[in-house]
A and B are shown apart, each in its own frame.
Chain A
Amino acid sequence: MAVRRRGAATYETDRVWIRGTGSVVGPKEGQGPLKDHFDRVWPDEQNGHPSWEKAEQALLAEAYEEALKKAETAWNGIDMVIGGDLLDQIVTTNFSAREHQRPLAGLFSACATFTEGLGLASMLLSGGGLDQVMVSAASHHQAAERQFRFPLELGYQRTPTAAWTATAAGAVVMATKPGPLRIESVTLGRVVDMGGKDPNDMGSAMAPAAFDTIQQHLTDTGQSPEDFDAIFTGDLGDFGVKVLRRYAKDKHLDLSAVLDDCGRSLYDAQQQDTHNGGSGPGCSASVFAGPLARRLVQGDFRRLLLVATGALFSPTTYQQGETIPCIAHAVAVVREEAFR
């Protein structure tokens, strides 16, 4: 077992598999185009919990439960939990750890948290010493709204490029024991800031970061976009994907045949009035742990590059007029043919 470095920022991992995935989403996500592919859909956003923050914790706990069930393991078989969320002091992930009592490494890279977790877990497992690691990310629409935007019932108009924070949680059990999906390699991104300032347009702010990481991954591994059946970015949304396509094309990288986006896939923008599409750490986590993992297992895709994207700003920094630094981390996931 070892981690092999390829190029400047990519690490090839050895003998790391995904054994089970759990995805739990809110009602709006459960009415979207991917509705049949999640493990659980909540009937309402609160689901009986007294606050939005507690609801987010419960959402994550349910995703953990599903992932453990599918991986046919229990908490005592998990050596470490790596995860994060969007709330201040990553309270969702930290507070949930009161229950599971496993060693915890909390992460924050906004909506890129899930692939950061997958990447770090892959490298740790590949390095030896650990057998099973739980990776998670969660977000809740109402909890994020009150932290980043306005009270729920306040009337205001969203701009066409505004993102809709998803009520969603995704968790995966990764192990050194074979499973249906294998992690092939990981590229950790660097912060890219192209001067975007508008928190209602995170898609175009994050697109260059996604480009930087995708190009790095392809260069380091000597691949072209067509070597993947799909490249899914995290939550660039409708506008962000358009910008990324054009930006990449200008830099002589044609992504049009394989590029798609978790946030854009999560809702029907016309019917559900979600403008640019879904965002939040739970967006890429649940879309991977539900629909994408399923499509890989079913054989629709054989090789997938998941590139979750994060806008690393806070309400304070944009009120002070700072630009938005962005990051993207990429993980190559392949279907394990030998496992069947």
Chain B
Amino acid sequence: MDSDKQQYQQMTQEMMPKRPVLRNAVIAFVVGGLICVVGQGVQGFFMHQGMTTKEASAPTAVVMIGLGALLTGLGWYDRIVKHSGMGGTLPITGFANSMVAPAMEFRTEGLVMGVGARLFTVAGPVLVYGMTAAMVVGALRWLITGVA
């Protein structure tokens, strides 16, 4: 019986329609790149107003998060990611999308059990493992270079 299952799984894997990986990668590169160009432009604007590179990074992130939230609210961001995959998910605009989408979705369950409880359903794992990774890398840097 188990070899039957194995054979069946093998057959379905062989028949499985192929994902257009190369095309997806190219679109992800272009769209992700474009989002970064916009971010660069925003940062340039703040630097033009007299901020240093370091000072400009925080307001740039705020603007990009705002843009991601706006496009999510307009119902456009999911279409961008549909075509661009990680190109749309990875930049900070994608993070905004992962917060705003559940906030919009779970309004019907109320502000506490709906929006409040479900806000981090998608972004939660990103935050947990992102922060964990940052701590590990930070600890390694401290061990190797002695710089905290």
Residue ranges of A at the interface with B (Cβ–Cβ < 8 Å): 50-53, 146, 150-161, 194-196, 201, 204, 208, 239, 242-243, 246-247
**Distance, CA A246 to CA B89, complexed state (A):** 38
- Pairwise interchain contact B15-A242, C-beta atoms closer than 8 A: yes
Residue ranges of B at the interface with A (Cβ–Cβ < 8 Å): 4-6, 8-9, 11-12, 15-19, 24, 72-73, 75, 77-82, 85, 88-89, 94, 97-98, 100-102, 104-106, 108, 121-122
Q: How far is the CB of A157 from chain B (nearest CB, A)?
A: 5
**Distance, CA A160 to CA B18, complexed state (A):** 8
- Pairwise interchain contact B81-A151, C-beta atoms closer than 8 A: no
B2's nearest neighbour on chain A, judged by CB, is: A195
- Pairwise interchain contact A153-B5, C-beta atoms closer than 8 A: no
Q: B6 — which chain A residues lie within 8 A by C-beta?
A: 195
- Pairwise interchain contact A161-B17, C-beta atoms closer than 8 A: yes
Chain A binding surface, main DSSP class: loop
Q: A53 — which chain B residues lie within 8 A by C-beta?
A: 108
**Distance, CA A208 to CA B11, complexed state (A):** 12
- Pairwise interchain contact B101-A154, C-beta atoms closer than 8 A: yes
B81's nearest neighbour on chain A, judged by CB, is: A155
Q: B73 — which chain A residues lie within 8 A by C-beta?
A: 153
A-B contacts, 22 of them at CB < 8 A, read A51-B108, A53-B108, A150-B101, A151-B102, A151-B105, A151-B121, A151-B122, A152-B105, A153-B78, A154-B78, A154-B98, A154-B102, A154-B122, A155-B101, A157-B85, A161-B16, A195-B6, A196-B12, A204-B15, A239-B16, A246-B11, A247-B8
B77's nearest neighbour on chain A, judged by CB, is: A155
From B4, B17, B72, B89, contact of A239 by CB (8 A): B17
> Provided the pairs A157-B81, A243-B11, A243-B12 are in contact, do residues A151 and B4 lie with their beta carbons within 8 angstroms?
no
> Provided the pairs A150-B101, A151-B122, A152-B105 are in contact, do residues A159 and B15 lie with their beta carbons within 8 angstroms?
no
A52's nearest neighbour on chain B, judged by CB, is: B108
Q: Which one of A152, A155, A208 has the highest number of Cβ atoms from chain B below 10 Å of its Cβ?
A: A155
- Pairwise interchain contact B12-A204, C-beta atoms closer than 8 A: yes
Q: A151 — which chain B residues lie within 8 A by C-beta?
A: 101-102, 104-106, 121-122
- Pairwise interchain contact B101-A153, C-beta atoms closer than 8 A: yes
**Distance, CA A50 to CA B102, complexed state (A):** 17
Q: Which one of B4, B78, B104 has the highest number of Cβ atoms from chain A below 10 Å of its Cβ?
A: B78
- Pairwise interchain contact A247-B82, C-beta atoms closer than 8 A: no
**Distance, CA A153 to CA B82, complexed state (A):** 11
> Provided the pairs A194-B9, A208-B8 are in contact, do residues A153 and B19 lie with their beta carbons within 8 angstroms?
no
Q: B15 — which chain A residues lie within 8 A by C-beta?
A: 204, 239, 242-243, 246
From A150, A153, A159, contact of B75 by CB (8 A): A153
Q: B122 — which chain A residues lie within 8 A by C-beta?
A: 150-151, 154
